[in-house]
Amino acid sequence: MSDLAWGLQMTVLGMGLVFGLLALLWGLLTLVQRLDRSADGGPVTDTDASASTADVEALAADAVAALAGPAPASQVAGEAPPRVQGMDAELVAAILVATLRHRAILRREAAPATRRYWPGSMLVVSRWVGAGRSRQNSSWQRRSR
Amino acid sequence: MAGNTFDHLQVLRDMRSKAVLGGGVKRIEQQHARGKLTARERLALLLDAGSFQEFGALATHQVNSFGLDKQRYPGDGVITGFGKVNGRRVAVYAQDFTVLGGSFSEVQAQKISRIQDLAIESGIPFIGLNDSGGARIQEGVRSLAAYGEVFVRNVMASGVIPQISLILGPCAGGAVYSPALTDFVIMAGDSYMFLTGPDVIQAVTGEQVTAQDLGGADVHTGRSGVAHLAADTEVAGLALAKLLLSYLPQNNNEDPPQITPDDPPNRMDEALNSLIPNNESEPYDMRDAIVAIFDHDSFLEVQPHFAPNAVIGFARLDGYSVGIVANQPSCMAGALNIDASDKISRFIRTCDAFNVPLVTFVDCPGYLPGVDQEYGGVIRHGAKIIFAYCEATVPKISIVTRKAMGGAYVAMGSKQMRTDLAFAWPTAQIAVMGAEPAVRVLYRDDVKNAADPAARERELVAAYREEFFNPYRAADLGQIDEVIEPRETRPRLARALEILRTKVQQNPPKKHGLSPT
> In angstroms, rounded to a whole number, what is the distance separating the alpha carbons of residues B98 and B25?
9
CB pair distance less than 8 Å for A107 and B504: no
Q: Where does residue A127 rank: exposed (0-12), middle (13-18), buried (19+ CB within 10 A)?
A: exposed
Task: Name the minimum distance, in Å, from the CA of B258 to any CA of chain A.
Answer: 6
Task: Name the minimum distance, in Å, from the CA of A18 to any CA of chain B.
Answer: 42
> In angstroms, rounded to a whole number, what is the distance separating the alpha carbons of residues B243 and A114?
14
> In angstroms, rounded to a whole number, what is the distance separating the alpha carbons of residues A115 and A118?
7
Give the pTM. Answer: 0.83
Q: Which residues of A touch B249 (CB under 8 A)?
A: 119
Question: Quick one: which H or E segment has residue B171?
Answer: strand B170-172
Q: Which residues of A touch B89 (CB under 8 A)?
A: 120
B296 touching A, CB under 8 A? Answer: no
Task: Classify each residue of B40-68 as buried b or exposed e, where b means 16 or more C-beta atoms within 10 Å of its C-beta.
Answer: bbbbbebbbeebbebbbbebbbebeeeeb
pLDDT value at position A44? 45
Selected residue of A128, A129, A144, A145 to mutate for chain B interface (largest B Cβ count, 10 A): A129
Task: Give me the percent of chain A exceeding a pLDDT of 90.
Answer: 21
Q: Which residues of A touch B246 (CB under 8 A)?
A: 108-110
Name the B residues in 328-387 with CB < 8 Å from any A CB. 355
CB pair distance less than 8 Å for A112 and B252: no
> In angstroms, rounded to a whole number, what is the distance separating the alpha carbons of residues B101 and B108?
13
Q: Give the mean model confidence (pLDDT) for residues B419-446.
A: 90
Closest CA in chain A for residue B502: A129
Task: Name the minimum distance, in Å, from the CA of B487 to any CA of chain A.
Answer: 24
Closest CA in chain A for residue B321: A110
**pLDDT by residue for chain A (145 residues), tens digit each?**
778 999 999 999 999 999 999 999 999 999 998 887 766 555 445 454 445 666 767 777 777 677 666 555 545 556 677 777 788 888 888 998 999 899 889 988 888 888 877 765 555 667 777 777 887 777 655 545 4
ipTM for this prediction? 0.72
* pLDDT tens digits, one per residue of B260-296: 888 999 999 999 999 999 998 899 999 999 999 999 9
Please compute, for residue A114, the number of CA atoms within 13 A of its CA located in the half-sphere on the CB side. 22
CB pair distance less than 8 Å for A114 and B260: yes
B395 touching A, CB under 8 A? Answer: no
Rounded mean pLDDT of chain B? 92
> In angstroms, rounded to a whole number, what is the distance separating the alpha carbons of residues A64 and B305?
39
Task: Name the minimum distance, in Å, from the CA of A122 to any CA of chain B.
Answer: 7
Query: How is residue B175 annotated by DSSP?
Result: G
CB pair distance less than 8 Å for A133 and B298: no
Catalytic residues of B: 173-174, 407-408
